[in-house]
Amino acid sequence: MTTEEMRWDLTHLVEFDDPAWIEERMSAAVKESESFRDKYRGKIESFNAQQIKDLLESIDEFRLRYEGPFKYASLSYSADNTTDVNKKLYDRSQTSYMMMGQNLAFIDIELGKLLTKNPDIINDSAVAEYKHYLERIQRKSPHFLSEEEEQIIIIKDRNGIQALWNLFNDWLSTRTFKIEVDGEMKEMSYGEITGLYQSPNRDLRKRAMEVVFGTLGKDHLLWSSALKAINADHVQMTKLRKWDSPMTQSLIDNDVDEETIQALMNTIEKNVGMVRDYLKLKAKVMGLDILGNWDLSAPLPNVPDKKWNWNEAKELVVNAYTDFDYEVGTWIKEMYDKRHLDAEVRSGKRSGAFCSTWFNGKSAYILQSYNERIGDIYTSAHELGHAMHAYLGTRAQKPSNYEIGSCVAETGSIFGELLLTEKLLSKVESKEGKQEILAIVLDEFVAAAYQVSARVFFEQSIYDAIEKNKLLDGEAISKLWVEARDRIFGDAVEWIPEDKWWWTMKLHFYIPNYRFYNYPYVYAQLFVFAMYKLYKEQGKDFVPKLKNLLAAGSSKSPRQLAAEIGFDITKEDFWQKGIDQFSEFVDMFKDTL
């Protein structure tokens, strides 16, 4: 293994690996978006079905034509944000994107007006391929206001919510935290100290949380005002835009309906006992009477201290996917062979991991920092699951039909993690090794399905309080958080008192126009567990079903996608299957004791 093998090759994305050529392509893209605007603006409302089809096809072709240079700019910047060339290209790409967005914004608005006037046009065979794309515009358009009002909203948000978001980021990134590590007093940034939450040292994990939550909670006066303003603004916008409830905007964005999310959340609440039992079991394995909140995602003691080199990890992951399906296995292998993964650990590289679909190449690029830990193999398997989704979707769909909402986006990735789990369990022989793997899967489920559900309840309770004109100061918001948290965890977890300030640092609550970011995580986790259960029951017969679902991209709604596999996601029975799979993993964990 050389380090070059762990560095991605971006030259496939461009005809010439030359910054001047790439900048020239970006200018050309902006110019072409201007020509679109000049050619179509004000005309779409009177289009017939064939003209709509031609318009959408030419927009798709336009997107494909310039995808490579833009992707090159954003990926090189994530891989190394220290060079002037990368900074300049990235900056240029962002400005160009914004200009193209402005030039093309009229298309959806005019299509919306056309569909309101002539809703039947959606059933014309000429636009059959774009039917669901148009249905999504149709669902959004009754909530658009006049062009002048929309302009005022943009200005209001820029100087209001956007400013609070910037303030939040500046605040969090300039906080420092004092903590004693190995007898030495250290001063750490937020990013550094939160890294200690995963420490094998239990006392250090707890102290890190006490310091972070305690320090940030001191500014609760500031953040309760901000949170209240952001949510009160959303309640007002809900009325102005005639959304049914504060959740409607996110339901439209995620292409799901309230009935489905209600069934999902009811299922979670009915099964809180299951998660509490697992947490009590984990406490026992850790030799504790009760788990502290600082133990929730902590590693188990006595886990094997094994390192996995890049080639071992590659073999494991490729085999896990090949066992599932031969064709998928060849794609995963191709990702490695063509060097579409950047896994080298180096400075100047973005933290975390992501997978970016490369539509024109019918492939994807992945970034992660590989540290030879078992968690890093899980990250590879997760991101390669997104790549599987990309390989299938780009072969079957046009770009407009591959705008996947948050509920469906994690299907391939979480499924891939379960395929890796199966492979690892078949290889690891020691009891501690099996426990380590199962705890990774179970802890993630607890975090994504249950912990995040508490945030759904919390967000709902804030809107209720605003509607009822209740006082919402720091202490009142904390009370709502503690109630929501306890609805899930009950007496199964002991919390540090400072946890009541958790909401002051949860960045999602401060992101503009991003209300109810939370339930899609719950959806994805339960949906994939239910799919995995089906795979275990049906074996190879299930494989084409999952492949078809992923290949459909956003050309069908999540409800329709599930219906084609024979499920009704508006029913609690369906979501219960996800919980049942969780319970099977808990039983496997019990068997190792």
Residues in contact with Zn ion by CB under 5 A are: 413
C-beta closer to Zn ion: residue 321 or 489:
321
CB 490 within 8 A of CB 453: no
Nearest residue (CB) to Zn ion, 352 versus 544: 352
- Comparing C-alpha atoms, which of 247, 249, 264 is closest to residue 570? 264
Least separation in angstroms between residue 57's CB and Zn ion is: 30
CB of 419 vs Zn ion, minimal distance in Å: 15
Residue nearest to Zn ion (CB): 413
Shortest gap between Cβ of 383 and Zn ion (angstroms)? 7
CA 57, CA 63: separation in Å to the nearest integer?
10
The DSSP annotation for 42-107 comes to TTGGG--HHHHHHHHHHHHHHHHHHHHHHHHHHHHHHH--SSHHHHHHHHHHHHHHHHHHHHHTHH
Distance CA 437, CA 432 (A): 9
Tell me the closest approach of the beta carbon of residue 167 to Zn ion, in angstroms: 28
Of 26 and 528, nearer to Zn ion (C-beta) is 528
Contact 419, 381 (CB under 8 A): yes
Based on CB atoms, which residue is closest to Zn ion, 319 or 411?
411
Q: Nearer Cβ to Zn ion, position 295 or 417?
A: 417
Query: Rounded to the nearest whole angstrom, what is the least distance from the CB of residue 448 to Zn ion in the complex?
Result: 11
Give the C-alpha separation, 87 to 74, whole Å.
9
Tokens matching residue 433: 């090794």
Could you give the CA distance from residue 571 to residue 193 in angstroms, rounded to a whole number? 42
Mind spelling out the 3-state secondary structure of 304-371?
Answer: CCCCCCHHHHHHHHHHHHHHHCHHHHHHHHHHHHCCCEECCCCCCCCCCCEEEEECCCCEEEEECCCC
CB nearer Zn ion, residue 413 or residue 555: 413
Least distance in Å: CB of 352 to Zn ion?
10
- In the complex, the smallest distance separating the C-beta of residue 113 from Zn ion, rounded to whole angstroms, is 36
Closer to Zn ion by CB, 55 or 449: give it: 449
List 184's β-bridge partners, or say none: 181
Nearer to Zn ion, 89 or 387 (CB): 387
Q: How far is the CB of 282 from Zn ion (least distance, A)?
A: 24
Cβ-based burial of 158 (10 A; exposed 0-12, middle 13-18, buried ≥19): exposed
List C-alpha distances in Å: 341 to 3, 314, 330, 337, 392: 12, 11, 15, 9, 18
CB of 410 to Zn ion, least distance (A): 5
Strand ranges, E, within 182-269: 184-188
The CB-of-414 to Zn ion minimum distance in angstroms stands at 8
Is the Cβ of residue 413 or residue 504 nearer to Zn ion in the bound state? 413
Cα(419)–Cα(413) distance, integer angstroms = 10
Q: Which C-beta is closer to Zn ion: that of 250 or that of 413? A: 413
Q: Is the dihedral of CA 483, 484, 485, 490 positive or negative?
A: positive
How far is Cα 498 from Cα 100, in angstroms, rounded to an integer?
A: 46
How many CA within 13 A on the CB side of residue 520? 21
